[in-house]
Chains A and B, each alone.
Chain A
Amino acid sequence: MRQESIIKEIILLVFVVFILAPFIVGISTSLKSDLEIYKGFNLLPRRVTFENYYAIFKDKVFFRYFINSGIYALLTNIGCLLIASLCGYVIGRYNFPFKNVIYLAFLAVLMIPIPASFVSLYNLMLQLKLLNTRIGYILLLISGNLPFSIFLLTNFFKQIPKELEEAAKIDGCNIFSFYYYILLPLSKPILTTLSTFVILGVWNEFLLASIVFSNDNLMPIQAGLMKFQGQYITHYEKIMAGSIISILPIIILYAITYKRIIKDIMRGMGK
């Protein structure tokens, strides 16, 4: 019995090491000089240097990728939550013509994978003259996040008791003021959850970015990283430093919200 539990501990630890090792390799490489990285691999740098990070901070283009991703994440989040909450609110709580058709159509879209439509999305962006524009990319991101958000919010709004709404009506709330003054504050937790997933998704998004942008100035971080690694193809110490910086916001977000993320994934949310 004891032997068994020791084996179990070892298995768990082996996988902890397996998961953490690549991060450590990346951090270690990013702290080395370009001379050292090709002299065989040592886990600890012989001489710790921050020159790679310094070089990236001075690299105005890289900084711009970072800011761009921040802008895209923020605007996508606002747009998506606004549109999805309005839509989820009335679908979840009212009856109106075409309601079921609309809702079923949203659910159906959840099952259309991106590889099936990105070519014509590219073509659509071309037709609308939205290639290489911020707005074009944000529109694609919002539409990509909408079906799931609507699905989630509709189910949430359905559960809010009818009595609350009737009480609010007596106090003079109309359909809009109930949404704004009562429903939105009530749904803060679920909106936070949704925001976290949207922001994670936007920050890590690459495929759509690579079809919309060929212009450096507007690229988000993932497309930027690919461009960056093309420029520094042999300078892995810089590529690693760039990668580490690019995941910092995600690591911070994960550190703050991991309890909720993990709970929600376990409840069957997320993709």
Chain B
Amino acid sequence: MNQQEKNQYICLLFVLPAVIFFITFNIYPVIRTFYLSFFKWDGVSIDKQFVGLKNFYFLLFHDKVWWKSLLNGAIFSFFGIFVIDAIGLLLAIIVYNKKYLRNFYTVVYYLPCVISGIVIGLIWKWIFHPEVNLINRIFELLSISSQNISWLDNPRLALFAIILASIWRGIGYPFLIFLAGLQNIPKEVCEAAVIDGVNSIQLYTLIIMPLLRPTIILVSILTVLGGFQTFDVVVAMTFGGPGYATEVPTLKIYKEALQFGELGYACAASLLLGLFLLILSLIQLKFQKTYSS
């Protein structure tokens, strides 16, 4: 065996641990999810009952909670793009033009992004607690409403409570990405535009926004991906309640598998959600490739 051949074996030896991990914990589970989605199975008993496409059929046409959870995912995505990302963009533009304290703002805005969803959920659950209800107190101060509303017990308002917590949690990431996007725009472009007599509003709407478009699309897709995968904050704040008002897809799958013992059904739901998210990721990848080349 010459050196070349020997090196090839060593190379394979070096990638072997990663490949083993990869097959055991990535490939196999995905194949198994696919396989189990055709069965009715509780996960423990020896007998699996083959049910064909019944799980998917029930999921798509009879499971209102599943659709509710997807709707909530869509609502999170909607607010994510039009509130969280919009605020992130606004703050990024302001901070970009500042000479002082840039680091300070960046560090503060990004802070919630390093905190766990559970802690965020617990703190916000307390903020919305009927006994404290800071939100109501702020409403009182602004004289919007003086009722003592119990947000998390109200099916309509609970979702908004979670959205507010998500806004708090989510601003930092789009803010940073937009700030990076702005910094990548060559200074000369803006300077040339100003010399040509463009005012500051035109500068943003006509020049910076179009240049920032790839970043905006990228952030939007990431926001939708995140919106449909919201989990920790919901678990800590409402666990999907009251009723199923704040159910989210991951939590629905979690409950089916670990609480109701419907493993096959949970796998079918996993598969549908995974497929949807995968398509979004592929679109994102395509955009990134188009714009980076």
**A residues near B, CB below 8 A?**
8, 11-12, 15-16, 18-20, 22-23, 25-26, 29, 37-38, 40-41, 83-84, 86-87, 89-91, 94, 96-99, 102, 105-106, 109, 111-124, 126, 139-140, 142-144, 146-147, 150, 175-176, 200, 203-204, 206-207, 210-211, 222, 225-226, 229, 236, 239-240, 243, 246-247, 250, 253-254, 258, 261-262, 265-268
Q: Is B79 an interface residue (CB 8 A)?
A: no
Q: What are 24 A-B contacts defined by CB distance under 8 Å?
A: A12-B94, A22-B124, A86-B15, A90-B14, A96-B11, A102-B18, A102-B19, A112-B274, A113-B225, A113-B277, A116-B30, A116-B277, A116-B278, A117-B33, A119-B263, A120-B29, A144-B25, A204-B117, A206-B117, A207-B254, A225-B122, A243-B122, A250-B114, A266-B183
Query: In chain B between 229 and 273, which residues have their CB closer than 8 angstroms to a CB of chain A?
Result: 229, 231-232, 235-236, 249-250, 253-254, 257-258, 263, 266-267, 270-271, 273
Inter-subunit contact A258/B107 (CB<8 Å): yes
Q: A89-B14, A96-B8 are in contact. Are A222 and B90 (CB under 8 A)?
A: no
For the complex, give the distance between the alpha carbons of A126 and B44 in Å.
9
Q: Is B89 an interface residue (CB 8 A)?
A: no
Q: A38-B131, A96-B12 are in contact. Are A112 and B257 (CB under 8 A)?
A: no
For the complex, give the distance between the alpha carbons of A94 and B14 in Å.
11
Chain A residue with Cβ nearest B180: A266
For the complex, give the distance between the alpha carbons of A229 and B123 in Å.
11
Inter-subunit contact A15/B277 (CB<8 Å): no
User: Which single member of B10, B17, B26 contacts A112 (CB below 8 Å)?
Assistant: B26
Over the window 83-115 of chain B, the binary record of Cβ atoms lying under 8 Å from chain A Cβ atoms (1 yes, 0 no) is: 000010011001101100000011111111011
**Interface residue range, chain B:** 35 or more
A125 to chain B, nearest CB (A): 10
Chain B residue with Cβ nearest A89: B14
Inter-subunit contact A83/B274 (CB<8 Å): no
Chain B residue with Cβ nearest A82: B17
For the complex, give the distance between the alpha carbons of A226 and B24 in Å.
29
Contact partners of B90 in chain A: CB under 8 A: 11
* Minimum-distance CB pairs A-B, first 10: A116-B274, A143-B25, A204-B116, A266-B180, A96-B11, A87-B18, A120-B29, A111-B281, A90-B11, A120-B32
Q: Which of B122, B137, B179, B235 has the most CB of A within 10 A?
A: B122
Inter-subunit contact A229/B122 (CB<8 Å): yes
A271 to chain B, nearest CB (A): 8
Over the window 25-59 of chain B, the binary record of Cβ atoms lying under 8 Å from chain A Cβ atoms (1 yes, 0 no) is: 11111101100100000011000000000000000
Contact partners of A91 in chain B: CB under 8 A: 15
Inter-subunit contact A118/B105 (CB<8 Å): no
- Which of B60-68, B153-161, B168-176, B188-196 lies on the face that meets chain A? B168-176
**B residues near A, CB below 8 A?**
7-8, 10-12, 14-15, 17-19, 21-22, 24-30, 32-33, 36, 43-44, 87, 90-91, 94-95, 97-98, 105-112, 114-120, 122-124, 126-127, 129, 131-134, 137, 168, 171, 173, 176-177, 179-180, 183, 225, 229, 231-232, 235-236, 249-250, 253-254, 257-258, 263, 266-267, 270-271, 273-275, 277-278, 281-282, 285
Query: What secondary structure prevails in chain A residues at the interface with B?
Result: helix
Contact partners of A29 in chain B: CB under 8 A: 126
For the complex, give the distance between the alpha carbons of A126 and B97 in Å.
55
Inter-subunit contact A146/B21 (CB<8 Å): yes
Inter-subunit contact A262/B134 (CB<8 Å): no
For the complex, give the distance between the alpha carbons of A41 and B131 in Å.
8
